[in-house]
Amino acid sequence: MTAVLVTGAAGFIGKNLVATLRRREGVELYALDLAATEAEWDEALARAEVIFHLAGVNRPPAPEQYEAGNAGLTRDLCARLRQFGRAPTFVLSSSVQAELDNPYGRSKRRAEEEVARFAADSGACAVIFRLKNVFGKWCRPNYNSVVATFCHHIARGLPITISDAARELALIYIDDVVEAFLRILDEPPAPGCEYREVRPVYSTTLGALAATIEGFRAMRRSLVLPELADPFIRSLYATYLSYLPEGSFAYPLEVKADQRGCLAEFLKSPHAGQVFVSRTRPGITRGNHYHHTKVEKFLVVQGEAAIRFRHILSGQVLTYRVSGTDLKVVDIPPGYTHSIQNVGAGEMVVLFWASEMFDPERPDTVYEEVTGDE
């Protein structure tokens, strides 16, 4: 077992790191925050082999509290480790603002100096991360994260303020931060003090960030998925969803109903086509058309179906019998007129995927019956 202490465990980064460490085998975890008792601190510092020092302040009521909450707290931790005669691996969560000459930056820089001094005196391994703007789930809105604030407000239909749309942002994702921290457990650093960076770093502007998140909200109407092949968009979309009000996880689809049953579009993507679902009454046939380029997949999830094909240049009819009790995907090649009939006694439910989003100007759908008796 490796004893691991996380300070600032109730903070944004701390919550995410602790949630992962709790599931990691071989870790004896001490998750402490400023409310911890002296006895809890003593036990953790006396046993910890790795310390992730995340505790600190970034928006105190008075500027002089930067020094006590950042440099002072780090100095106290190092002093207590010296008293215990301990030299654990020490990981400090610092900030890129340590390069700046402002109260916060100076306090973080002095915290770094305390860690470097401790490593030199004790022979410990120390790693300092000057983190850029971190975004992800569980970050506090209306505090010091524009991503958290935008996600929280837009998810609730609240207005946002954009001071400078062209302002550039450098962002890192919380899961990448946690992964970089955990790498220290897997690959212990050499004695001494070193600086590391979290990668990748995503670059955007304030205006582009707001527009992207607004697009996530609009997806419930448009059904168009964000560009999930982009790791930044994928991470940002996950972050946005984490800020949904708990009473607003579900949303309705536009359902088109007629005598045959009903149909609703579910998801769309410019690159991956679209998904829709239908409910069909017994004896009803849908389809009887073909496509030149568009391809589809049918999946019956309830009921029984006969899916029929006829090559538009021949007369031979192929029939596939499928049912919701034996999930089987049926590919719909181009050049085959096709239909799907509910041949069961109850309602038939089918998931459809099409390789293209439907475009009424270019539908690529030509009506032609598979058999004359349909």
Contacts of 365 (CB under 8 A, 6+ apart): 289, 290, 291, 294
**Backbone torsions φ then ψ of 45, nearest 5 degrees:** -70, -30
Dihedral (C-alpha) 202, 207, 211, 217: value to the nearest 10 degrees? 90
User: Within 10 A of 305 (CB to CB), how many other CB atoms are there?
Assistant: 26
Please give the C-alpha separations between residue 262 and each of 135, 265, 267, 344, in angstroms, as whole numbers. Answer: 41, 11, 16, 17
Residue 104 among the catalytic residues:
yes
State how beta strands 192-196 and 296-302 pair: unpaired
Look-up of token digits 């990448």: 176
d(CA 310, CA 324): 24
Rounded to the nearest 5°, which phi and psi values hold at 268?
Answer: -135, 150
Instruction: Sort 12 into a burial class: Cβ within 10 Å, 0-12 / 13-18 / 19+.
Output: buried
Count CB neighbours of 197 within 10 A.
Answer: 13
- DSSP state string for 64-120: THHIIIIIIHHHHHHHHHHHHT---EEEEEEEGGGGSSSHHHHHHHHHHHHHHHHHH
Active-site annotation holder among 66, 104, 202, 240: 104
- CA 18/CA 177 separation, integer angstroms: 12
Query: What token pair was written down for 77?
Result: 């931790």
Buried b (16+ CB within 10 A) or exposed e, 151-176: bbbbbeeeebeeeeeeeebebbbbeb
Cα distance between residue 40 and residue 5, in whole Å: 11
Return left, alpha or beta for 28; rule: phi > 0 is left, psi -120 to 50 is alpha, else beta: beta
Q: What residues are annotated to the active site?
A: 104
